[in-house]
A and B are shown apart, each in its own frame.
Chain A
Amino acid sequence: MFSDWSLLNALIWVPIAGALVVMTAGAGRPGLARGLSLLTAIVTLALCVPLWQGFDTSSAAMQFEGAVPWIRALNIHYHLGVDGISMPLVVLTALITVVTVIAAWNVKKRVHQFLAAFLILEAMMIGVFVALDAMLFYIFFEAMLIPMFIIIGLWGGPNRVYATIKFFLYTFLGSVFMLVGLIYLYLKSGTFELAQWWSLPLSMTEQTWLFVAFLLAFAVKIPMVPVHTWLPDAHVEAPTAGSVVLAAIMLKVGGYGFIRFSMPITPDASREMALFVIALSLIAITYIGLVAMVQKDMKKLIAYSSISHMGFVTLGLFVSFILLAKGGNVEMALDGAMVQMISHGFISAALFLGVGVLYDRLHSRQIKDYGGVANTMPWFAAFFVFFAMANSGLPGTSGFVGEFLVIVSSFQGSFWFAFFAGLSLILGAAYSLWMVKRVIFGEVKSDAVANLKDMSAREFFVMAVLAVAVLLLGVWPEPLVDVMRPSIQHLIDLISVTKAGGV
């Protein structure tokens, strides 16, 4: 029934349709808006079941593929499809959206608009992951900003205007350069088909310029040092649900962009610039780890921790070029980067939700306002310690898998890659557990803490879902890696060729 691309279409259009219904029917009726949103999110997630089941894990080809011409004059197509790299990200998006809608249950202000924005956001994010036409990708990529802009701008904290403008301009500035790159590639090839660009010969100069253009867009998005400072501000001002989606999915678009654009379209330039990107990644892991340690605001701390963890993604992606040259386990590095993206989606979502649970009760994100939360909220404390441990890469949780694969494989590139990446073992534990010590443990800090109520059933459920995901992926990552394998191998084929020679 879903052998064609109607499934992917449904994944994009069901949330949009749901959002429209929520907007119209849910106005002034928050209960209905919540119910309809949850229904939409669950239906979308349910659509992922046939997607996962119908997915042929032995093939690197795009699946559930389909295309119709969209703007004939420019040869732009509405072209969708998934492979082993995008499919898990689609599922992650659908899952996190359900979590977000449940987490946003107690938002009081303009509920229908708030939830509709998330459904639109979901559609845009899924669109980014399934678009095979570069212009379509770009449109989703930019359109994604709008709902998030509105979410932070309308439902955010006191300094939300600064944060939203910073967020918007930062990301927009980056992606404008990508647009120039896309137009250049179109002029050169006469098409916006990604797959054709992968085999398009490009001189070294062309590749270098294109690489820089893509790097600007994706480095801001993921984000990499030194273009990361929008993220902590955006997180601090965003409402809980906004932070969850931002950290869990929107950052991954940056990593996905590297995989889809930079690496296969400009492999020679990537090879040339690999050491540069690796250096930035290692700086992100260590420098940002240190910065995370001294944060006084829990959300800022987790935001910095996200940047540090995304350093593993870029390290894994670009160390693969070094490994290709030196002869190392390339697949391991790329697997590590991918698993890290998925895993961080669960863990960062849970941590931001945790801060949200506290914020809802005490209206503070400052570490100093807490202390001894375990006394009054034992279940919450258990979850928070668990996710903090996952965040510091404890084996048996998903946080370990990606870091382990990336560290072990980058050792084959250079001892020092592994050395600096490995420091996160100490730094990650230091900032995560020091926060736990000050927030969760200790004597009850104040009357406010003494009066805290433990998690509601709704909050418990959301945390439990994420905890199960983190454990499953940590104990048995093979099913995920199995889905990705042919596509990763295909990616290795794409990045191990030289395109500059033929020109």
Chain B
Amino acid sequence: MLDKNILLVIAMAPLAAAVVAGLFGRKIGRTGAHLVTIAAVALSFVLSARILWAFVQGQAEPFNENLYTWMVAGDLRMHVGFLVDSLTAVMMAVVTFVSLMVHVYTIGYMHDDPGYQRFFSYISLFTFAMLMLVMSNNFLQLFFGWEAVGLVSYLLIGFWFKKESAIFANLKAFLVNRVGDFGFLLGIAAIVMAFGTLDYVEVFQHAESVVGKTISIFPGTQWQLITFICIALFIGAMGKSAQAPLHVWLPDSMEGPTPISALIHAATMVTAGIFMVARMSPLFELSEAALSFVMLTGAFTAFFMGLVGLVQNDIKRVIAYSTLSQLGYMTVALGVSAYNAAIFHLMTHAFFKALLFLGAGSVIIALHHKQDMKAMGGLRKYMPVTFLTMWIGTLALVGFPGFSGFFSKDIIIEATHESHRFGAGLAYAATLLGVLITALYSFRLMYLVFYGPERMDAHARAHVKESPWVVTLPLIMLAIPSVVIGWLAIEPMLFGDFFKGVIVVRPEHDVVAEIGEYQFHSPAQFVLHGFTGWPFWLMLLGLALTSYIYLRRPQVTERLKKTFAPLYRLLRNKYYFDEFYQKVFVRGAVRLGETLWQWLDQKLIDGVLVNGTARLVGRFSAAIRGWQTGYLYHYALTMVLAVVVLVAFYIF
């Protein structure tokens, strides 16, 4: 069923288009650039959708084949190849669909930008990198895709390379990701040491064989090798999927054009870490300690980063912190062995988060690239399509029963509740309270942007209008799955055998199956049940609070800021992560470099050793040069003395 050539086309078409648009952008012009990239991504999407459909129908067998041998080093054979199973198929479809929507949207958003062709080239390249990542059948190619999305995000965040803040943000994003990649690479190295192969299937087959093996990192301590591997790999995921404390790059990535934010936050890049852990479920299942670590990291991120979203005024930054928080939910799901729930939330989130970002972008275009929500308000009557679709995205994000986000988030909360993992209680509290926080920042955004008085200046108000169809069409196209995908996908993905044999969960860890047995009967019943649960009431509380504050008494916010001034400052400054990193790591490294260079290289090695030796030789010669007086009697005297010494030496 699955054909190698079709898979090749899926992966290579965006690459080819990126090369064409990038190298020949001037020749083919703007239209040429967007046509060729959109055609390529559309082709990838159609083919990916067919593959996904085949898996949904149960007609497809997993495909696992090497394309070529990258290198053979000793007994380690490294290949480039594809593994396409149900998990890959979901990722491919999500990636290409969201990417396609972003491509179309870009025509409108980047309309006046001089770097139009370059932009299309980059986003197409991004799609290629992400596809290589998810379609890989080995750790080498995974790492290639892993770093390639890092590269393209670097190019895209710094797309407006004249902007100082943008080129600061892209360097920061790349370096923070490199910190994660550093852990990831050590994890891969440990895998090669433990298994002697980079091939997923071979590693998974022998996964059990490393149980009980240990690795000594500090003399006298022994770590479980499998725990080391999983945590090292997860550090990579923390970089890509922006988990605290490696999350700092993601809010800053807002410096790029909005379509990129949608692409990075929804479909590519940040989903890489979640996907990777789900893909590695046969390994993670063997280490309770690593899973606990994963879960707690996610819980911390979900709760604390959501809080920061409450105090942001930049429309894109609110959504960015919401992404951090939602990624935290996915990570919690991974940590409680609910890998399928994590992927499910990844998918629903991809749709509604892309929708929210593109909606925010539509608002931003309407206001001529203003992003401050303080200068918005009352936009609902000017931009009906954006307004309605943003509501759909918001309801999905807060998990209103029936919307896609409800299904996926409720399952994660339930699964955390069921879990007996170390620290699960804490994670449960964090995810539950996170619902309230999500509701607060989400409704706040809606109210500030679309309701209340119109706070923009007169010039902006005169020009506000709904965006063109290339912008609104993707919004509508993304709104549809934001509503329906939960209904369709929950049964097969979570309780059916869609992921059977792909995602491995030990029976004693399988909290999702427990939910399926006792609480889930059908999507409709699950929705009804949703109206009675804690999350729903917390969400309503959030709705009530924000409605009261932002529709009735806006002055309350000022009073809250004063009452909770220290907390407000802490949140405004994002817990001082940036300041801390800047002071300790960045300035520390620079100062260390300066010191080493000036003291060791210049003063010690060059000053004392090299030039010092030269000086010493010089001085020595200067001294003995004095002996070469040129007076004959000096030499004669020396000869006599030497003869005396020599004779004395022989005699005694």
Contacts and interface: CB of A to CB of B under 8 A. Distances in A.
Interface of A: 166, 170, 226, 229, 287, 290-295, 328-332, 335-336, 372, 374-375, 385, 389, 392, 394-396, 400-401, 404-405, 407-409, 411-412, 415-416, 418-419, 422-423, 425-426, 429-430, 433-434, 437, 440-443, 476-478, 481-482, 485
A374 B158 CA distance: 12
Contacts of B72: 478, 481-482, 485
A309 B216 CA distance: 28
B651 interface: no
B193 interface: yes
Which of B75, B161, B164 has most chain A Cβ within 10 Å? B161
B74 A294 contact: no
A332 B161 contact: no
A395 B143 contact: yes
B79 to A, nearest CB: 10
A407 B192 CA distance: 11
Interface stretch (B63-71, B364-372, B501-509): B63-71
A426 B182 contact: yes
Given A229-B605, A290-B589, A294-B590, A433 B171 contact: yes
A400 B171 CA distance: 19
Given A374-B161, A394-B147, A294 B73 contact: no
B178 A425 contact: yes
B610 A433 contact: no
A295 B602 CA distance: 12
9 contacts: A292-B593, A396-B144, A405-B73, A408-B185, A425-B178, A425-B181, A430-B175, A440-B161, A481-B73
B188 interface: yes
Contacts of A287: 596, 600
Closest 6 CB pairs of A and B: A331-B74, A411-B189, A290-B593, A332-B73, A294-B593, A395-B144
Interface in B588-613: 589-590, 592-594, 596-597, 600-601, 605-606, 609-610
B162 A442 contact: yes
A293 B592 CA distance: 10
Contact of B167 (A291, A292, A423, A442): A442
Nearest to A401: B71
B470 interface: no
Contact of B186 (A329, A394, A422, A441): A422
Interface string B205-249: 000000000011100000000000000000000000000000000
B269 to A, nearest CB: 16
Nearest to A430: B175
Contact of B175 (A328, A426, A440): A426
B148 A396 contact: yes
B175 A419 contact: no
B49 to A, nearest CB: 28
A293 B217 CA distance: 29
Contacts of B155: 385
A194 B144 CA distance: 41
B190 interface: yes
A328 B76 CA distance: 11
A415 B143 contact: no
Interface of B is mostly: helix
B167 A425 contact: no
B484 interface: no
B54 interface: no
A294 B593 CA distance: 6
B179 interface: yes
B344 interface: no
B516 to A, nearest CB: 40
A478 B175 contact: no
A226 B51 CA distance: 58
B375 interface: no
A389 B596 CA distance: 25
B158 A476 contact: no
B593 A481 contact: no
B596 A291 contact: yes
A209 B147 CA distance: 45
Contacts of A430: 175, 589
B174 interface: yes
Contacts of A423: 182
A456 to B, nearest CB: 18
A77 to B, nearest CB: 35
Given A294-B590, A425-B178, A429-B178, A419 B74 contact: no
A329 B167 contact: no
Contacts of B68: 476
B151 interface: yes
Contacts of A226: 600, 605, 609
Contact of B192 (A374, A400, A411): A411
Which of A166, A374, A405, A426 has most chain B Cβ within 10 Å? A426
A332 B147 contact: no
A128 B458 CA distance: 76
Nearest to B166: A441
Contacts of A229: 601, 605-606, 610
A126 B439 CA distance: 70
A90 to B, nearest CB: 22
Contacts of B192: 329, 408, 411-412
Nearest to B215: A415
Which of A375, A394, A404, A408 has most chain B Cβ within 10 Å? A408
B603 to A, nearest CB: 11
Given A290-B589, A294-B594, A411-B190, A476 B148 contact: no
Given A332-B76, A405-B73, A442 B164 contact: yes
A476 B69 CA distance: 8
A391 to B, nearest CB: 13
Contacts of A408: 185, 188-189, 192
Contact of A437 (B75, B171, B592): B171
Nearest to A372: B162
A411 B70 contact: no
A332 B71 CA distance: 10
B185 A329 contact: no
Nearest to A418: B189
Given A329-B73, A329-B75, A395 B147 contact: yes
A293 B175 CA distance: 13
Contacts of B151: 389, 394
Contacts of A374: 161
Contacts of A328: 193
A426 B179 contact: yes
A476 B73 contact: no
Contacts of B181: 425
A418 B186 CA distance: 7
Nearest to B177: A429
Contacts of B215: 415
B463 to A, nearest CB: 28
Contacts of A292: 593
B71 A481 contact: yes
A96 B168 CA distance: 35
Given A290-B597, A441-B158, 18 more contacts: A166-B610, A229-B610, A290-B596, A293-B590, A294-B593, A329-B73, A374-B161, A405-B73, A415-B217, A419-B186, A422-B182, A422-B186, A426-B178, A433-B171, A434-B171, A437-B168, A442-B164, A481-B72
Given A429-B178, A430-B175, A441-B158, A331 B185 contact: no
A46 B66 CA distance: 35
A465 to B, nearest CB: 16
A423 B597 CA distance: 18
Contacts of B148: 394-396
Contacts of A418: 186, 189
A418 B182 CA distance: 10
Nearest to B132: A396
B182 A290 contact: no
Contacts of B610: 166, 170, 229
A98 B68 CA distance: 32
A137 to B, nearest CB: 27
A433 B192 CA distance: 30
Given A291-B593, A425-B181, A407 B73 contact: no
